[in-house]
Amino acid sequence: MQRIPLTPAGYQKLQEELERLVKVDRPKNIQAIAEARAHGDLSENAEYHAAKEQQSFLEGRINELKAKIAMADVIDPSKIRQSKVAFGAKVKVFDIEGDEEYVFYLVGTEEADVKQGKISLTSPVGKALIGKEVGDTAIIKAPARTIEYEILEIAFE
């Protein structure tokens, strides 16, 4: 069984979604199915079929979340003491050609969110940054151009 690396915040987010689905969304769905059944003939009842489809989606997501939580390997970045880029690192980089600074947080695939600067360890940028130290250059071959990031800072918060 492959472990899923998660930060404490990412683990909490999965737990909260699971709780909402089980305690709020599932009971609403059960009520919707009961109301649609009360309308009579199920073969031509669009509300019933929509509610059953929603039930299938909910149960699938609940099972998916339970599996992810069971396989979670919660890693607290604030407890990591090292100078190289690894899971949970906050990395400040300088795009040499683009003359811009960026901050990336290296997380597992479950938590990746580019808009928030959270990038997956398995992404091209994540792979290029892993193991680098301050002063090193990470090279990412992108379709448009080859990107070179100089590592300015590494922090585990």
With H, G, I as helix, E, B as strand and everything else as coil, classify residue 132. Answer: coil
The whole-angstrom separation of Cα 32 and Cα 47 is 8
Residue spans in the chain of domains classed CATH 1.10.287.180: 4-74
Kindly provide the b/e burial profile for residues 71-100, where b requires at least 16 CB atoms within 10 angstroms of the residue's own CB. Answer: ebeebebeeeeeeebbbbbbbbbeeeeeee
1 pLDDT more than 70: no
Among 111, 112, 110, 116, residue whose Cα is nearest residue 124: 112
Q: Determine the topology of domain 4-74 in CATH.
A: Helix Hairpins (1.10.287)
Kindly provide the b/e burial profile for residues 8-25, where b requires at least 16 CB atoms within 10 angstroms of the residue's own CB. Answer: eebbeebeebbeebeeeb
Q: Fill in the amino acid letter for 121.
A: L
6 pLDDT more than 90: yes
CATH architecture of residue range(s) 77-156: Roll (3.10)
pLDDT in tens, 31-88: 999 988 888 777 778 888 999 999 999 999 999 999 999 999 999 988 888 899 999 9
Structural contact between residues 7 and 107, judged by C-beta atoms closer than 8 angstroms: yes
With H, G, I as helix, E, B as strand and everything else as coil, classify residue 155. Answer: strand
Residue spans in the chain of domains classed CATH 3.10.50.30: 77-156
Strands 89-95 and 72-74: unpaired
The whole-angstrom separation of Cα 80 and Cα 74 is 12
pLDDT in tens, 84-108: 999 999 999 999 988 999 999 999 9
What is the rounded average pLDDT of the residues 129-148? Answer: 92
Among 124, 125, 107, residue whose Cα is nearest residue 116: 107
Please classify residue 139 by burial: count the beta carbons closer than 10 Å to its beta carbon, then call 0-12 exposed, 13-18 middle and 19+ buried.
exposed
149 pLDDT more than 70: yes
